Amino acid sequence: MTPPLPLAEALAAALSVPGRAAIPFRDVAGDPERLVTLHCHRPASHRPASPVVLVQHGMQRNGAEYRDYWAEDAERFGLLVIAPTFGPEHWPTAEHYNNGMPRDDDGRLRPRHAWGFASLARIQAALRESGLTTRPRAHLFGHSAGGQFVHRLLSTQPQDAFEAAITANPGWYTLPTLDRPYPEGLGGLGLARADLARLLAFPQLILAGDRDTDTAGPSLPMQAEAMRQGPHRFARAQFYLEFAQAEAARYGLPCAWRLQNVPGIGHDGAAMSRVAAALWFGGGMPDSRTIAGWASAQGAL
């Protein structure tokens, strides 16, 4: 059997022409037994100096769908979109995907470079090595379970590979405190106050749909730690920012986070993707009529 190409070579080959591609990736520097599939979209207008957007899917492990949510804006703005997909065969639970799997089956703390979160910085490095981008850092977006993934990545990993990050509509949050155990807080992971300071200083943008207010359902975390943050996702987003600001004040640290409420949108990954693209590349927050036109009847996890 022919061995797989190194990731940079595989990316260069698959994306040598515009269009979509699905690239299998086993991270030899992290957890090579677990497959990640990179669902990609390269528009004809993309150039190496154009932005890269890494897009994290929700609990349905639907990376190809999330890639497609970004397709129209990828074409409009020349974005290279990569949706790393942590499929259910190898990443079956929230502990594996949403939480990054920091511990092994015996409860021992794994090296931080082996956590699922760490693969994204190596994907960005491979994109640079491939010649597909000359940008040192990527934009990072995640919705629902992907929003859990994104803010926990920022909370536990080096942030050098990312120039901007949006956490959209997660079911609950890991709070920026060392006084509560992970995943409610950041305790027990070997992190220190300096890590907390770096997290609070990163310009994380929290997107919260103001109709994401369901108080029950199979995708809403209902454990006690989550319920302490509020009855629904919209309330929990407000709580997360307020907690961060209070924690920053407690230690005399700056907090660079910002919360953007999105009017008329519920738990809708497609609409929130469009809002994120507008904020980053389209000049700012769209008007409410434009946003309403993006709303999905059923939303998307």
Average pLDDT rounded to a whole number, residues 136-161: 98
Average pLDDT over residues 170-199: 98
| Residue 15 CB-density burial (10 A; 0-12 exposed, 13-18 middle, 19+ buried) | buried
DSSP string across 110-168: PPGGGSGGGHHHHHHHHHHHHTS---S-EEEEEETHHHHHHHHHHHHS--TTEEEEEEE
Q: Report residue 148's pLDDT band, with 50, 70 and 90 as the boundaries.
A: very high
Residue 301 pLDDT > 70: no
Query: How many CB atoms are located within 10 Å of the residue 195 CB?
Result: 18
State the pLDDT at residue 3.
Answer: 60
Q: How high is the mean pLDDT of the chain?
A: 96
Q: Could you check whether the bond before residue 203 is cis, i.e. omega within 30 degrees of 0?
A: no
Q: What is the pLDDT of residues 207-245, one digit of tens each?
A: 999 999 999 988 999 999 999 999 999 999 999 999 999
Token pair belonging to 19: 């269009």
Q: The domain 7-294 is classified under which CATH number: 1.10.3720.10, 3.40.50.1820, 3.90.1150.10, 3.20.20.105?
A: 3.40.50.1820
Query: pLDDT-derived band of residue 89, with 50, 70 and 90 as boundaries?
Result: very high
Q: Looking at residue 299, what is its pLDDT?
A: 55
pLDDT at 1 over 70: no
Ramachandran quadrant class, 8 (left: phi over 0; alpha: psi -120 to 50; beta: rest): alpha
Q: What does the pLDDT look like over 284-295, one tens digit per residue?
A: 999 999 999 999
In this structure, of 27-41, 78-92, 283-297, the range with the lowest mean pLDDT score is: 283-297
Residue 296 pLDDT class (50, 70, 90 cuts): confident
pLDDT of residue 2: 58
* Domain ranges (residues) in the chain: 7-294
Tell me what pLDDT residue 297 has: 55
Which phi and psi angles does 33 have, rounded to 5°?
-75, -15
Residue 5's pLDDT is 79
- pLDDT over 70 for what percent of the chain? 97
Backbone angles phi, psi at 264, to 5 degrees: 80, 5
Distance, CA of 243 to chain centre = 20
